[in-house]
């Protein structure tokens, strides 16, 4: 999961990665100065026990977000629940009661499709009960489809303090140029930051699919020692423009008006850059 979201791996390439043998800590920089601290403690029970018993104040003080990942095929669900409940009751509630909590029920692709929804709803109900009185958000995820991007895009949008301003400006921009849709993607991860839609679309997961396609295209560019800056896709029904928009974001503009030429769209995007520049800021966590 970490390699796909933050290291530009595609799903099939993760087969080459070994299991986490130690505790891996890394800092990921998002929009401008928003920093996410990642601690990968997979299988490190001794480390987790030490932190939970003797260094809770170090681990849980000033936490803005807790993202807890559950293996849907875990052999010891009860133990997983106990660890999670310990994080909530003796960590988050004591040191950071205002933190946002996200639970990812991961590796859902290993469950037969007919059973996935029922199993996820059951786990969600259990986790909500264990988290009381705190509120949580739960997502079913897999590296093999768009659900992982869907979950992390929603998490990212909640982490950005000025996302409301971004959405309002996207709406004004889309209305001004008569675009069907306008989206902002985070530059490094290509997660969806914000979007505005003026024309209904029947694929609710299209943004995450686009993210996956563009990331794979960026990887191909990197192999050719090229830098991905912009791309235009056009057919008889629509035209889509993806371009580097600010220092930290790409923009995607979708137009269905065949009379609008590419040069006009490019001019509008360039003129809008300074309008969005002051909202390309964030905090740290």
pLDDT, average across residues 159-187 = 89
Contact (CB, 8 A) for 266 and 241: yes
Contact (CB, 8 A) for 207 and 194: no
Q: How far apart are CA 40 and CA 20, in angstroms?
A: 8
Tens digits of residue pLDDT in 88-138: 988 899 889 989 999 999 999 999 999 999 999 999 999 999 999 999 999
Tens digits of residue pLDDT in 199-211: 888 887 788 778 8
Q: How far apart are CA 169 and CA 275, in angstroms?
A: 8
Q: How far is CA 158 from CA 65, 88, 120, 214, in A?
A: 10, 20, 22, 23
Contact (CB, 8 A) for 39 and 22: no
pLDDT, average across residues 1-9 = 60
Residue 285 has pLDDT above 50, yes or no: no
Residue 7 has pLDDT above 60, yes or no: no
Mean of pLDDT over the chain:
82
Looking at residue 48, what is its pLDDT? 65
Would the pTM of this model clear 0.85, i.e. be above it?
no
Range in 54-58, 92-96, 175-179, 235-239 with the lowest mean pLDDT:
54-58
Looking at residue 160, what is its pLDDT? 77
SS (H, E, C) 193-248: EEEEECCCCCCCCHHHHHHHHHHHHHHHHHHCCCCCCEEEEECCCCEEEEEECCCC
Question: Beta strands of the chain (E only): which ranges?
Answer: 24-29, 35-40, 65-71, 100-106, 137-140, 181-186, 192-197, 230-234, 239-244, 249-255
pLDDT, average across residues 153-162 = 79
Looking at residue 284, what is its pLDDT? 40
């Amino acid at each position: 999961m970490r390699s796909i979201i933050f290291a530009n791996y595609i799903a099939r390439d993760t087969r080459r990665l070994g299991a986490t043998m130690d505790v891996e800590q890394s800092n990921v920089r998002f929009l401008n100065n928003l920093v996410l601290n990642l601690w990968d403690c997979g299988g490190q029970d001794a480390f987790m026990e030490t932190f939970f018993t003797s260094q809770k104040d170090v681990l849980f003080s000033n936490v803005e977000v807790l993202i807890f990942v559950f293996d849907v095929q875990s052999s010891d669900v009860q133990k997983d629940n106990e660890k999670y409940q310990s994080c909530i009751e003796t960590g988050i509630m004591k040191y950071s009661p205002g933190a946002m909590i996200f639970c990812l029920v991961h590796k859902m692709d290993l469950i037969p499709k007919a059973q996935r929804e029922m199993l996820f709803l059951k786990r969600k109900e259990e986790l909500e009960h264990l988290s009381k009185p705190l509120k949580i958000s739960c997502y079913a995820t897999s590296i093999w489809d768009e659900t992982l991007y869907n979950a992390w895009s929603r998490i990212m949008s909640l982490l950005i303090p000025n996302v409301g301003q971004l959405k309002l400006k996207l709406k004004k921009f889309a209305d001004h140029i008569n675009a069907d849709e306008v989206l902002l993607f985070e530059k490094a991860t290509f997660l969806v930051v914000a979007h505005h839609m003026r024309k209904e679309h029947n694929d609710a997961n299209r943004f995450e699919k686009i993210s996956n396609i563009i990331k794979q295209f960026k990887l191909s560019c990197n192999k050719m020692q090229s830098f991905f800056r912009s791309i235009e896709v056009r057919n008889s029904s629509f035209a889509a423009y993806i371009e580097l928009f600010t220092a930290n974001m790409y923009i995607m503009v979708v137009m269905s008006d065949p009379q609008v030429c590419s040069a006009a769209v490019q001019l509008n995007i360039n003129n809008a850059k300074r309008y969005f520049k002051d909202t390309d800021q964030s905090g740290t966590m």
